[in-house]
Amino acid sequence: MASFGWKRKVGEKVSKTTVQQFEKDSEQADNEDVEKEGVDWLHVIKRRREVLLEDCAAKSKRLKDEGMLLAEQGRNWEALKRWDEAIQLTPDDAVLYEMKSQVLITLQEVFLAVQSAEMATRLRPLWWEAWQTLGRAQLSLGEVELIR
């Protein structure tokens, strides 16, 4: 807890002993406040950050599920918006990029679909569905030579 104190010049009306006593009392009050609270603020800040990370993952999952429902209903642009929000929260989720790529292929946004599928393959290089989606996107783009 931060302490508050007045720094004054020791003048005619304030004696040195009074100033020293005031400083000593304020230090003791700070120490007593910490003991009464019994809170390790550094630990609380770290714990709060962990809670926020869990909240981001949960929110990302919710947005991903909402996007899947919207895509099934044919509301592709809204699904993309949800998935973009989820990607902002968890940028290392390859599934989001792969689903986004599939919807972009459907919407004939082929260049963006290729970019999204490439990102999915970078994040999970051994995932065959991401490679299949990348191949479909590249075929739609007309770049057959890019497919290996």
Q: In the structure encoding, which two tokens stand for residue 10, read together?
A: 């020791």
User: Has residue 4 got a pLDDT over 60?
Assistant: no
CATH, residue 141: 1.25.40.10
**Domain assignment present for 31:** no
| Mean pLDDT (whole number) for 46-71 | 80
Q: In the structure encoding, which two tokens stand for residue 77, read together?
A: 């642009």
Report d(CA 134, CA 74) in Å as an integer: 22
Q: Are residues 96 and 65 in contact, defined by beta-carbon separation less than 8 angstroms?
A: no
Of residues 43 and 27, the one with the higher pLDDT is: 27
Q: How many domains does the chain have?
A: 1
For the stretch 5-38, pLDDT in tens is 555 554 556 677 777 777 777 777 655 554 555 6
Helix (H, G, I), strand (E, B) or coil at 117: helix
For the stretch 76-124, pLDDT in tens is 999 999 999 999 999 999 999 999 999 999 999 999 999 999 999 999 9
**Domain assignment present for 15:** no
**Domain assignment present for 93:** yes
Nearest to 121 by CA among 140, 109, 137: 137
Report d(CA 104, CA 2) in Å as an integer: 54
Look-up of token digits 């290392």: 92
**Domain assignment present for 34:** no
Q: In the structure encoding, which two tokens stand for residue 76, read together?
A: 């592709």
Of residues 68 and 4, the one with the higher pLDDT is: 68
DSSP per residue over 32-56, as a string?
Answer: HHHHHH---HHHHHHHHHHHHHHHH
Q: pLDDT band at residue 57, thresholds of 50, 70 and 90?
A: confident
What is the predicted pLDDT for the residue at 74? 93
DSSP class of residue 148?
-
User: Has residue 41 got a pLDDT over 70?
Assistant: no
DSSP per residue over 63-105, as a string?
Answer: HHHHHHHHHHTT-HHHHHHHHHHHHHH-TT-HHHHHHHHHHHH
Domain range for residue 83?
41-146
What is the predicted pLDDT for the residue at 3? 55
User: Has residue 72 got a pLDDT over 60?
Assistant: yes
What is the predicted pLDDT for the residue at 109? 93
